[in-house]
Amino acid sequence: MTGRDDADGTETSEPSAEPAPSGGAPADRRRRRVLGYAGVAALAAGGAAGAWYVSRPDSADGGATDEGADEPDEPDDTDGAEEPPADALEEIPAVVGRYAPDLYFGALERWYPTDPRPYVVETDDGAVVDGFTALDDYSAAFRETGSPPAPTVFYNVVEAAPGVDAVQYWLYSAFDQFTVNFHWHDWELLQVFVDRESGDPLLLSASAHSRASPNNEFLGPEIPEGSRPGILSEVGSHSSASEVNGLVPSFERLPTGDLVSDVTNDAIDVSATLRAPFAYGLPRDEGARLPFVLPELDGAPLHEHPSLSIERTDLIDERVTVGAWRGLPTPPADLPLRDPGLVIAHPDSAVDADATYALEPLPPLREAIDDFVGPQLSFEFAIPGFAEDALASHITSVGIPWEQERFTDPLSDVTDPAHRRRIDGAEPAGLANRVVGRVRRLRAGAAGALDGVADGAADAVADVAGVSLFPLSTEVAVRLASEAPTATVTRGGVFEYLRVEPGPHLLVANGPGLAPVASRFVHEGGLARVGGDGELTVVAREDAGWIRGDAREANGVDRVRVVEDYAGVVYEGEPVETDRFAVAVHRAGRYTVEVVDRDGTRGAYRVTPDSFDDDGNAVRREVRTGKLALARTLRGELDELSALAASLSPDGDDGEDTTAENETDGDRQRDRTASDPVRDGISRARESAAGAVDAAANGEERAADDRLSASASSLREVRDAFATDDQAGYDDAAVEAIDPKALAGIGRANDAIDAPL
């Protein structure tokens, strides 16, 4: 997808049946000879020289090269290699043909691997592949024939480690149209690491979107004679994953039945409740709905741009394309999933292919092309601000193969620590510097996950919980903004970043029809989980209420945590703006907003459905920390706990007002709680918390602390009542719902006692 997306390759131990490119190919193309696998003994003696190319100018007639001549008896040394005769034929090493992959595309794909040389334009800066020319001419040829123009895979072989060679298969697409960005000139790579002595494959590495995205890798693949690696290509972005389990053409992140997974990347704890392989995968192959972005340039969609002659049908189908993300009230629900499309293979492949590709060496391409040029486009990620959404672009740049580190150092592209150790025993520190998390959607109702209560209490609180957490119906884009910004998309809500430098970062999650969420964090190396223990929450724009806080006139704010009473933590991180924050939540929820100021003092306040104004904002113009703020929050939380206990009371009292005409409020309360130590304890804790608020407001610190201590003591009595044989008459589910909140109230009271006025 970016210049570092990765490719698939192709095979052949026989000459390519495809003709040499014409029309735009430079006249000075060179004749090449590959020094390849002449035999185990020769390779062992020749080392890496057996994998490199020796070039010489074409013969005077400029004829096309031929492939498949016998290999030399001995590999030449790369420095000062003996020049072959003028009529020497280009050879493809047997190992290159052996592992050249079959390519599987989705039905919506528009840009298949092709040869960039027909799109070369001679300029003052040399021979360049012009992005406008490539897009126009490729689209016109595709439109005219209905078939992908000049399918081509380029190969390169590099010594990866002593006794191990990396067979690289590079694929070029004229354009990339994806969810997080779009750009011209998309290069993809598949690497097959091969034991030079045995010829066995050790590792398949199919690269994802950027150096910061984990590749899809498979250690120790079994590739029987007569078969070859299968490569699944993601529609639009062309990121790749190997197909090794025979269930072509679908991607399996985890083993299914008797089938192994398509990756062997190590599993990590993404959050407290989720463990998943650290691999990019292929979202649409995994049943995820992920929209494409409609590319624009100079304020106009590409198909309407005056400098281009493409049509709307040349771009990704409009059924899965979204233009104005911010104009949608909810995520699109009718995006089709991935359907299998064209299969492109080498002519010698045993698969039933729709087309075949030419397999050509990559180094001569470097001789024919000086540069790839064209505008690089981006997607604008909305970032929550206190007053309005600011915009920040994520720009991707072209990564020409021979300008990338992995071109000469293939192991730099291996992203799994165990895989890297298998090849050369190294332990690069950067492979352990990971940032992960999961995005879920907050929706009305209690049918989703309620992380704020124990599993056994979910049914008990169903009638009082206003919101719960659901898996994403449409995957979202995630941008990591640091010194080198990069972006990816979620798979089942999960996002993963690799080689994240220690230091401050900003992470933004955004999607069509969703309010964005952003979190600043400091990565200290190793594995970091963004958000509340690896969890981020988004909400549909039509349901969103914005909790906005301003602490500039107080003591600032260094950290914000938003906890819904039953759904649990829905946001945790440093504020995006200095001393101000904006967090989108569902307006039907009930929240505690916890803050830490610049001095490390805690504060908190409550936000309920009544807190939001007509514009959906709950604004706290002066966010305060200290004893008074915490005491007020405790009082509000105990109000909610009292209502919960009433709904779960064993006498069936739901708290409705049944006061007789001559009955006082005190009489009513005593009648209700006389035989219920749980509700009685909560009631006394509420009264004490209210007294603490009054005392703190009057500057009476000691009196406030006494009342807070009394509140905590009453809540301990509630917990003691649950510890009796009959649990005060409450069933197990009710205890699981009430007891943790009583414990949390004790913690809140103690924090308030420790806090200054």
Q: Residue 389: is its pLDDT beyond 70?
A: yes
Distance of CA 225 to the CA centre of its chain: 36
Label residue 303 exposed, middle or buried (CB < 10 Å: 0-12, 13-18, 19+).
middle
Question: Which pTM does this prediction carry?
Answer: 0.84
The C-alpha R_g of the chain, in whole angstroms, comes to: 31
> Topology of domain 433-625, per CATH?
Immunoglobulin-like (2.60.40)
Residues of the chain with CATH 2.60.40.10: 433-625
Query: In which band, very low, low, confident or very high, does the pLDDT at 616 lie, cut at 50, 70 and 90?
Result: very high
Phi-psi category of 248—alpha, beta or left, where left has phi over 0 and alpha has psi -120 to 50? beta
CA separation for the pair 574, 504 (Å, rounded): 10
What pLDDT sits at residue 46?
33
Give whole-number Cα distances, 662 to 186, 351, 575, 659, 667, in Å. Answer: 81, 88, 53, 8, 10
The answer to whether the beta carbons of residues 526 and 468 sit under 8 Å apart is no
What does 15-68 look like in DSSP terms, one character per residue?
Answer: ---SPPP-SSS-TT--EEEE-----HHHHHHHGGGGG-EEEEPPPTT-PPP-B-
CA separation for the pair 12, 623 (Å, rounded): 68
Q: Smallest Cα–Cα separation from 490: which of 538, 455, 447?
A: 538
Q: Please name the residues in contact with 208: beta carbons below 8 A apart, sequence gap of 6 or more.
A: 1, 5, 6, 214, 215, 216, 239, 240, 280, 488
DSSP-derived 3-state class of residue 348: coil
Residue 488 identity: T
Query: What would the pLDDT profile of 704-713 be if each residue is shown by its tens digit?
Result: 999 999 999 9
Which percentage of the chain shows pLDDT scores above 90?
70
CA separation for the pair 587, 633 (Å, rounded): 19
Cβ count within 10 A of residue 242: 27
Query: In which band, very low, low, confident or very high, does the pLDDT at 7 lie, cut at 50, 70 and 90?
Result: very low
Residue 518 identity: A
What pLDDT sits at residue 233?
93
Q: Residue 78: is its pLDDT beyond 90?
A: no
Per-residue pLDDT, averaged over 119-135, amounts to 95
Residue 207 identity: S
Q: Smallest Cα–Cα separation from 64: which of 371, 402, 364, 363?
A: 364
Query: In which band, very low, low, confident or very high, does the pLDDT at 653 lie, cut at 50, 70 and 90?
Result: low
What pLDDT sits at residue 485?
83
Query: In which band, very low, low, confident or very high, does the pLDDT at 580 lie, cut at 50, 70 and 90?
Result: very high
| Sheet of 580-586, strands arranged across | 580-586, 544-550, 617-620
Query: What would the pLDDT profile of 639-651 be if each residue is shown by its tens digit?
Result: 999 999 999 999 8
Strands (E), 131-253: 152-161, 164-177, 182-195, 201-206, 216-219, 230-233, 240-243
Per-residue pLDDT, averaged over 487-503, amounts to 93
- Residue 254 structure tokens: 């985890």
CA separation for the pair 283, 236 (Å, rounded): 12
- Mean of the per-residue pLDDT values for the chain? 85
- According to DSSP H, which parts of 146-231 are helical? none
- According to DSSP H, which parts of 659-731 are helical? 665-673, 677-697, 701-722
Which percentage of the chain shows pLDDT scores above 70?
84
Q: Provide, for the chain, the percentages of residues in helix, strand and coil under a 3-state DSSP scheme, each rounded to the nearest 5.
A: 25, 30, 45
Query: What would the pLDDT profile of 31-70 be if each residue is shown by its tens digit?
Result: 222 222 233 223 333 333 333 333 223 333 333 333 333 4
The answer to whether the beta carbons of residues 607 and 597 sit under 8 Å apart is no
DSSP β-ladder status, 602-607 and 591-596: antiparallel
Per-residue pLDDT, averaged over 685-699, amounts to 98
Supply the DSSP symbol for 573.
E
Q: Residue 685: is its pLDDT beyond 60?
A: yes
Residue that is written with structure tokens 């590099």 in the block: 158
CA separation for the pair 298, 306 (Å, rounded): 10
